[in-house]
Chains A and B, each alone.
Chain A
Amino acid sequence: MSARAIATAVRAGERSARSVVEEHLAAIDSGEGEIHAFNLVLADEALVRADDLDRRIANGEDPGPLAGVPVALKDNLCTRGIDTTCGSRILEGWRPPYDATVVERLAAAGAVAIGKTNLDEFAMGSSTENSAFGPTRNPLDTSRVPGGSSGGSAAAVAAGFAPLALGSDTGGSIRQPAALCGTVGVKPTYGRVSRYGLVAFGSSLDQIGPFAATVEDAALLLEVIGGHDPLDSTSIPEASPDLLAVLGRGVEGLRIGIISELMGGPDRAASVEGIADDVRARVEQAAEALAAAGATVEHASVPSTIYGLSAYYLIAPAEASSNLARFDGVRFGLRVDADTAPEMNTATRTAGFGDEVKRRIMLGTYALSAGYYDAYYGKSQKVRTLIQRDFARAYESFDLLLSPTAPTTAFPLGDKTGDPMLMYLNDVCTIPSNLAGHPSMSVPFGSGDDGMPVGVQILAPALAEATMFRAAAVLEGSAP
């Protein structure tokens, strides 16, 4: 049952919120042992919340557009009084004294928080294998990864544990797992959704967004969480976008460009490498579907996107090295005692952080160091400007752009853990949107040669979520 159908039934008093929650808790009970989508299932809290909603509905109140809908929350979103681990030992047992803005907005819309989902530690990874609490498995084939870093959220939706989930996307952490698990995943325009209460990874890139089984449900969730928040200075002073109303409008007359640089293939020299043939074939098929629905589809060039990955792996770690400094054992989370404060800091961070987090802290610290700043951080900011300029130029000719979401379908666990660079390449198609601050989303479109889902990425200019969702609805309707 879709989130929209659940909310409609619950608001009309046709279904109790308790029955909805019980049904999903039962699904979790039977599947979670194998999948490990959650770090924490909020079974008791969800039932208490459901009963409260049912009482309010019985009293004639309307709890809102997500009445009774279970939502899974990535475990880097702060939840008042509830463990928020970021998949890290260093935050084990920490309970924030406040809710993230998105969590407050979900509550105000009648949603039920059903659990905290697993993730790569501090959202650093593309397979959810970097969690301190063990990997999450892909519900469609448990020998494979669900993608990452929001793998738990993607898996929760794909497994039917929750119709909706929230993730965070710094370089593709919503879209790539959505693609690998066959769900819809959206990274909104930077500033569209408040980051207040999202534990920061790369502050200038991070954005919270929805996972859902359908495009409509993703739109519903984004409408609820979007809109200005005075607690986030980078929040755009605009109301949440009106998406549900435009979903049926089709793509007639829209100009859509396939980004040549992100398609790979033997005849494209100036393209990123590693795009699998079966993935490319599906993207081309999706383009045909959009053309068949009345869009003009052509090849587009956004040349500097091929440098996105390199720039990203300097900017994101640089910001992370600073953002993660506060995990020092002084005020919250893990503390490993030592004789002096600096020794305590070191001991705590050595014991509390995993290898990938340490790797990125070191990378970022180096990139910001005196004497290296200009060559690394400074230069990557120039690349970022270049990418923004190239996108702006492309959007003079196109309303939307198209590319693969991930280079391949879901890969086996352990396949890439030994080679960080290979793992980083997963984000090669998703990173440019983060660097530009633009919205983009992944929509499932058929499967690869291995039968695993393929995601097509739709990219849009800043604040053009509505146009993006129109194309997503068309792709959803024409998916093989």
Chain B
Amino acid sequence: MSNQALIPGWEVVIGLEVHAELATVTKMFSSALNQFGGKPNTNIDPVSLGLPGSLPVLNEKAVELAIRVGLALDCVIQRSVFARKNYFYPDMPKDFQISQYDLPINGEGSLELPDGRRIGIERAHLEEDTGKSTHVGGGGRIHEAGHSLIDYNRAGVPLIEIVSAPDMRGAEEARAYVSELRAILVAIGASDGKMEEGSMRVDCNVSVRRDGTTELGTRCEVKNINSLRSMGRAIEYEARRQVDLIESGERVEQQTRHWNEDDGRTHKLRSKEEAYDYRYFPEPDLVPVEPSDEWIAEIRAALPMLPRERRRRLADAAGVEPSATALTVERGMDDLAVDTIAAGADAARVLVHVENNLADGVGELTAASFAALVAMETGGDLTATQAKTVLADLAASGGDPAAHAADHGFEAMDTSELEALVDRLIAEHPEVWAGFVGGDDKERRKKAGFFVGQVMRATQGNADGRIVNELLARRATEQGA
């Protein structure tokens, strides 16, 4: 991963708070449906509207999903207590949010990035979502709107808030963290992780410090980030803003800031002094959650394989570093890759095909046909280019790779034919050949590329590039080079 300094002489320190909606059937504290995209105010009941006299009843499935998250992030699963976070907002029905404060269900843990780096997790707690306001008139801004409409379908949807340690050092790493977290949440069925639908939301805590210092700078929290791309932009903007402040002799004030996608800047929402006093206290309408060891063990046993485990499994099978398998796992093709390698296929070729030639999905491709194809390729029956074509056929319609190859008229070119062609090209391009024979490694690769290109052009790609290279090397040796 590239962690090159964004601003020379400065280190950017990032901690993320990720809210993910849990994939339950019903809401956190009532039997109203947890469903995205319904007609406004249809998935509601007295509890989600906070009607007087209504009481919350905890959804056990939400607790189970939270525990799955905790287990996947190696968190300490602990006795937890719900607390009320008090503040007035029209889309929050009770004017307090039921959250967890000093006793979250998941304590410290960590998340392993594909490159092996670990990001600390401070906590992952349960809380309820708010409704959604739409401000009508005045360009959709609350202060200028003529009136506001509120949809309470989302109110009371269960959320898990995952708070990282300030362990990330750049926008790229933050993106990798969020991608990995999303992959984990999806893999364990805890959330659909859709940022575009708002079921996964990220707030960034950004601070800067001079290279070589260890003390944390004053941080700002950036909200309203709706995609991975805007997260990267927001972090970069915010870091530069803070560095500019310090370099011009000013101080960074602790603030909550709002990312504006249109102008590409963060804007002050409120300072630390203006921050809400949430007056947290234990939620008297709920009892503490004390998951038994048996239940936790049951949930752990049922946990599907995590992305990091998938990377390791494929890396072991392919004899490469786990980071080299990230893309394959991200695309969900690692099962196929592992099975194909297990069926005897050359691991390097399998990974190359999965990463480069299966962007549209595996389709009808099976491990057996994939392995047969790779065997044909490594056995010299198909060139790399031919193999790619046959692979596309297998993905599109399944079947036998040999049959597809025959349909295309792919046949391994006779080596003597190829030898004649190579000799002719050497004769036609003596100065290039001289460069090949007499050049250093770099020069030699360049000239070889020329000859391979010529061969491919002459054979419409039906030659095997590896064999051409071997022939060139043999001729050079024969000439005593």
B206-214, B246-254, B284-292, B316-324 - the one binding chain A: B284-292
- Residue-by-residue, is A336-354 near B (CB-CB < 8 Å gives 1, otherwise 0)? 0000111001000000000
Q: Give chain B residues whose Cβ lies under 8 Å from the Cβ of A77.
A: 53
Of B56, B84, B88, B94, most buried by chain A (CB within 10 Å of CB) is B88
Are B284 and A340 touching (Cβ within 8 A)? no
| Cβ-defined contact, A233 with B51, below 8 A | no
Known A-B contacts A233-B285, A233-B287; the reply to A96 vs B55 at CB < 8 A is: no
Nearest-Cβ distance from residue B134 to partner chain A, whole angstroms: 13
A84 and B52 in contact (CB under 8 A), knowing A204-B284, A318-B281, A322-B86?
Answer: yes
Give the chain A neighbours of B51 by CB distance below 8 A.
Answer: 78, 96-98, 331-332
Provide the residues of chain B in CB contact with A370, threshold 8 Å.
Answer: 277, 279
Of the four ranges (under 10, 10 to 19, 20 to 34, 35 or more), the interface on chain A belongs to 35 or more
Contacts of A377 in B (CB 8 A): 281
Q: Are A326 and B93 in contact (CB under 8 A)?
A: yes
Which chain B residues numbered 79 to 114 have a C-beta less than 8 Å away from chain A?
A: 84, 86, 88, 90, 93-96
The one of A94, A202, A230 in contact with B57, judged by C-beta atoms closer than 8 angstroms, is: A230
Partner of A196 from B55, B280, B281 at Cβ < 8 Å: B55
Contact B279 A322 (CB under 8 A): yes
A200 to B47, CA, bound (A): 13
Contact of B88 among A198, A200, A325 (CB under 8 A): A325
Whether A91 and B57, one on each chain, are in contact in the complex, defined by CB atoms closer than 8 angstroms, is no
Query: Is B439 interfacial (CB 8 A cutoff)?
Result: no
Tell me if A325 and B46 are in contact (CB < 8 A): no
In the complex, per-residue mask of A99-120: 1 if CB is within 8 Å of any chain B CB, else 0: 0100000000000000000000
Instruction: Decide: A100 and B53 in contact? CB cutoff 8 A.
Output: yes
CA distance A202 to B95 in the complex (A): 16
Question: Given A233-B287, A330-B150, A369-B279, A198–B53 Cβ distance below 8 Å?
Answer: yes
- The reply to whether the CB of B476 lies closer than 8 angstroms to some CB of chain A is no
Name the B residues within 8 Å of A100 (CB-CB): 53
Complex partner residue of B90 from A78, A330, A365, A368, CB under 8 angstroms: A330
Q: A325-B94, A325-B95 are in contact. Are A196 and B54 (CB under 8 A)?
A: yes
**Across the interface, do A368 and B279 meet the contact criterion of CB distance under 8 Å?**
yes
B148 within 8 Å of A (CB atoms): yes
The reply to whether A200 and B53 form a contact with Cβ atoms under 8 Å apart is yes
B50 on interface, CB distance cutoff 8 Å: yes
- The A interface is mostly helix, strand or loop, or mixed, namely loop
A8 within 8 A of B: no
A124–B96 Cα distance when bound, in Å, is 21
- CB-based contact A345/B88 at 8 Å: yes
For A322, give its contact among B53, B84, B277, B286 (CB under 8 Å).
B84
- Say whether A197 faces chain B, with CB atoms less than 8 Å apart: yes
Q: Confirm or deny: A447 has a beta carbon within 8 angstroms of a beta carbon on chain B.
A: no
Cβ of B50: which chain A residues have Cβ within 8 Å of it? 326, 331
A231 to B143, alpha carbons, bound, how many Å?
A: 39
B296 at the A interface (CB under 8 A): no
Please tell me if the beta carbons of B52 and A340 are within 8 angstroms of each other in the complex: no
B49 at the interface (CB under 8 A from A): yes
Any A CB within 8 A of the CB of B58: yes
B90 x A234 contact (CB < 8 A): no
**Cα–Cα, bound, A340→B141 (Å):** 12
**Interface membership of A478, Cβ < 8 A:** no
- Residues of A within 8 Å of B277, CB to CB, are 369-370
Please determine whether B284 and A342 come into contact, CB atoms closer than 8 angstroms: no
Give the CA-CA distance A342 to B50 in the complex, in Å: 18
Closest B residue, CB atoms, query A195: B55
Residues of A within 8 A of B279 (CB): 321-322, 365, 368-370, 373
Q: Please name the residue on chain A nearest to B94 by beta carbon.
A: A326
CB under 8 Å from chain B, chain A span 82-102: 84, 86, 91, 94, 96-98, 100
Q: Report chain B residues within 8 Å CB of A198.
A: 53
Q: Which residue of B lies closest to A99 (CB)?
A: B53
Nearest CB of chain A from residue B130's CB, rounded to whole Å: 12
**What chain B residues lie within 8 Å of A195 (beta carbons)?**
55
Would B53 and A234 count as touching, CB distance under 8 A?
Answer: no
B285→A234 contact, CB < 8 A? yes
Residue of B51, B57, B279, B285 with most partner-chain A CB within 10 A: B279
Q: Contacts of A196 on B, CB cut-off 8 Å? A: 53-55
Interface centre among B54, B86, B281 (most CB of A within 10 A): B281
Kindly state the separation between the CA atoms of A78 and B88 in the bound complex, as whole angstroms: 24
Give the one of A203, A369, A377 with max B CB within 10 A: A203
Measured between alpha carbons, how far is A377 from B84 in the docked complex, in Å?
A: 14
Scan residues 216-266 of chain B and give those whose CB is less than 8 A from a CB of chain A. none
Q: A97-B51, A322-B84, A326-B95 are in contact. Are A233 and B56 (CB under 8 A)?
A: yes
Give the docked Cα–Cα distance between A163 and B53 (Å).
25
In the complex, whether A199 has a CB less than 8 A from a CB of chain B is: yes
Name the distance in Å between A85's Cβ and chain B's nearest Cβ: 10
Residue in B55, B58, B150 with the greatest tally of chain A CB atoms within 10 Å: B55
Q: Evaluate contact between B284 and A328: CB separation under 8 angstroms.
A: no
Q: Complex formed: what's the CA distance from A240 to B443 in Å?
A: 92
A319 at the interface (CB under 8 A from B): yes
**Closest A residue, CB atoms, query B276:** A370
A341/B148 in contact, CB under 8 A: yes
| Interface status of A232 (Cβ within 8 A of chain B) | yes
Q: Which residues of B contact A97 (CB under 8 A)?
A: 46, 51
Q: Which of A94, A199, A330, A365 has the most CB of B within 10 A?
A: A330
B86 and A325: CB pair below 8 A? yes
Is B57's CB under 8 angstroms from A231's CB?
A: yes
- Known A86-B52, A233-B57, A326-B95: A342·B88 in contact at CB below 8 Å: yes
Distance in Å: Cβ of A382 to nearest Cβ of chain B: 14
**In angstroms, how far is the closest chain B Cβ from the Cβ of A321?**
8
A177 to chain B, nearest CB (A): 21
**Nearest CB of A to B221, in Å:** 18
A99 → B minimal CB distance (Å): 10
Please provide the chain B residues from 259 to 306 with a CB less than 8 Å away from any CB of chain A in the complex.
277, 279-281, 284-287
B window 145-163: CB within 8 A of A: 148, 150
A179 to B142, CA, bound (A): 53
24 A–B contacts from the bound complex (CB under 8 Å): A77-B53, A78-B51, A96-B51, A98-B51, A196-B55, A197-B54, A199-B52, A200-B53, A200-B285, A204-B284, A232-B55, A233-B56, A233-B285, A234-B286, A319-B281, A322-B84, A325-B95, A330-B90, A331-B93, A332-B51, A341-B142, A345-B88, A368-B281, A377-B281
A residues at B contact (CB < 8 Å): 76-78, 84, 86, 91, 94, 96-98, 100, 195-200, 202-204, 230-234, 318-319, 321-322, 325-328, 330-332, 340-342, 345, 365, 368-370, 373, 377
Given contacts A203-B285, A233-B58, A368-B86, 9 further A-B contacts (CB under 8 A): A78-B52, A78-B53, A96-B51, A97-B46, A97-B51, A98-B51, A196-B54, A200-B285, A368-B279
